[in-house]
Amino acid sequence: MAELLPEIRRTKAGVQILLRSSITDDAEAVKFIAESVLQETIFHLSAPGELQLTLEKVSERIDACRRHPSNYLLIAFQDNKPIGTIEFTGGHRQRIAHTGELGMSLLEGFRNQGIGSVMLEALIDAVRASGRIEKMCLSVLGDNERAIALYKKSGFMIEGVRRNHIKFEDGRRADIIEMGLLL
């Protein structure tokens, strides 16, 4: 994993966030954030309880991420409390090695405060500085207007729409919006 040393970033409102690359010892915090966010929001591809996360699986994911030079798994803290993660997975095949996918999770009590913007900015800065990646991609539910606005504000462009790609447990459907950022 490309390393992000611990750094303090501030939101426009002055909220202070510590961001750094995750380590194996963060497995419990990463697991807690993932499970909490899946329970709090419908805006993820996985349904609550679907992932069956274990500390062992999360530790293995962190270790696998750390072994790949174009991968990042950043963890955000506020007042020493883990509040979010943002992950970038670089392409694993030669023809897409210059690209990668990102995903972000932020605990409910910390949304709408500019923290997601700070996390995304830190990731974009780190990926850009690596010089290995030329394009960052993501998928977002079409109903997630706040996330789409955040990504657009950060320079991502809508590249496509997968109509009715998500089918919720209650039968409701949602589009997936594909977005990309050329670095």
> Could you read off the pLDDT of 62-117 as tens digits, one per residue?
998 888 889 999 999 999 999 999 999 999 899 999 999 999 999 999 998 999 99
The contacts of residue 4 (CB under 8 Å, 6+ apart) are 19, 20, 21, 72, 74, 122, 126
With 70 as the cut, is the pLDDT of residue 2 above it?
A: no
Write out pLDDT tens, residues 109-143. 999 899 999 999 999 999 999 999 999 999 999 99
Beta strands 173-182; 99-106: pairing state = unpaired
**CA atoms within a 13 Å half-sphere pointing along the CA-CB vector of 2:** 20
Q: Per-residue confidence at 40, pLDDT binned at 50, 70, 90?
A: confident
Q: What is the pLDDT at residue 69?
A: 87
Indicate whether 158 pLDDT > 60.
Answer: yes
- Whether 45 shows a pLDDT value over 90: the answer reads no
Question: 3-state SS of the chain: helix, strand, coil percent to 5?
Answer: 35, 35, 30
> What structural domains does the chain harbor?
7-133 (3.40.630.30)
pLDDT at 52: 79
CA 86 from centre of chain: 3
What percent of the chain lies above the pLDDT cut of 90? 74
- What pLDDT shows up at residue 47? 67
Give the pLDDT of residue 4: 77
Mean pLDDT computed over every residue of the chain: 91
pTM (2 d.p.):
0.91
pLDDT band of residue 53 (cuts 50, 70, 90) is: confident
Q: Please check the confidence at residue 1 and state whether its pLDDT lies above 60.
A: no
pLDDT of residue 5: 81
Torsion of CA 49, 17, 12, 120, to 10 degrees: -50
Helices (H), the chain: 27-40, 55-67, 115-130, 145-153
